[in-house]
Each structure stands twice: as C-alpha cells, then as structure tokens.
Amino acid sequence: MTRNQLATCDLDFSPLFRSMIGFDRLASMLDAQPAAYPPYNIEKTGEDSYQISMAVAGFGQDDLDINVENGTLIVRGQKKETSKDDGKTYLHRGIATRAFEQRFQLADHVEVKDARIEHGMLNVDLVREIPERLKPRKIAVKQGLLDALVQGGAREALNPTKAA
C-alpha cells in the first residue's frame, strides 16, 4: 500500500479498542482530553480484568471518595482541612493537595471489584463479567419425531430378525 492509499483508508478501529481495553470510546477520549490531575494509568491485567492506578501522594484513605453512577466511575479527592497552626513550617510545598475529580466511562458489564491506596498510588481493580445469558452457547440439534420413526422403521425392515 502506498502512503496515499493509507491516508485515504477508511477503517473503523473502535471495535478493536473496545475489545482490547474494555472501555467504550476510551482511546478517543484520552486523545481529546488535556493532561489530567492527578496522573493515572489504565492497565489490562488479565483476559477480563483491568486496573486504574492514580498518583495521589499526599491524600489519605479518608480524603478519597469512589463511586459508580450510571456506568461512570467517579474518583474524587478532597484534602481534609488541617489546622493552620499544626506546628509545621514549610519552606516549600511541592506535593499537590488540590481537590480533583476524575471520571471514567465503564464499558458494559465492567464492575469495580476493589480499591486500595498503597505507597501514594490509588489502585482500582475492574473486572468484566458477562452474564451467562449473554455468553455464546451451542444449541444441540435434535432429530424430529417423524424422522426418528421413519429411520426406526427402515432399520426394522433391514433387520427382520429383531422384528420377529
């Protein structure tokens, strides 16, 4: 293929992104949005499992709020007010503690399984669980009653010793 043919190639890769990542419209949303605070990674950890990791240094367990509303994972961080007179004198404050809200549109059948904070990282585990009724299944083809009788009669005609 030449460069011009590739440029005019009109292929829809959205089903590929959905099956690889598990999030609808995720690739285009990530490309369209500016850098987010706090920074985060989305990792595929298994066949149907994913992990969102967010750098939340300076935030504690009580400062974070995680909810799922209408298929959207919402992670909010709000540093609890500390006394201005906590006895500390800062020469430089470089650890960001500003409030934030991150939203992630979850694909169908993706559930939040766990959330934990470790070493300044918030890890949210997600699993895609497709209900049994939506999974592909094989349907056995049975022989009709009339066909079974016809074939049974044909066997008896070919084997008269069983009939006697």
Q: pLDDT, tens digit, for every residue of 46-85?
A: 999 999 999 999 899 999 999 999 999 999 999 886 656 5
The residue ranking higher by pLDDT, 115 or 20, is 115
Helices H / strands E in the chain, number of each = 5, 7
Choose between 151 and 23: higher pLDDT.
151
Domain membership flag for residue 148: no
| Mean pLDDT, residues 128-141 | 85
Residue 148: pLDDT above 80?
no
The verdict on residue 152 lying in a domain is no
Q: Is residue 141 part of a domain?
A: no
Evaluate whether residue 155 is within a structural domain. no
Name the more confident of 13 and 125: 125
Note if the pTM is more than 0.85. no
pLDDT in tens, 9-26: 555 555 555 445 455 555
Report how many domains make up the chain: 1
93 band by pLDDT with thresholds 50, 70 and 90: confident
CA distance 66 to 59: 13
The band of 151, judged by pLDDT with boundaries at 50, 70 and 90, is: confident
Q: Could you give the CA distance from residue 58 to residue 121 in angstroms, rounded to a whole number?
A: 10
Q: Is residue 17 part of a domain?
A: yes
Q: Tell me, yes or no, whether 99 lies in a domain.
A: yes
Residue 4 inside a domain? The answer is no
**Residue 103 is part of which domain span?**
12-135
State in Å, rounded, how far the first CA of the chain is from the last one: 75
Residue 26 belongs to some domain of the structure: yes
61: domain CATH number is 2.60.40.790
Give the β-pairing of 72-77 and 100-105.
antiparallel
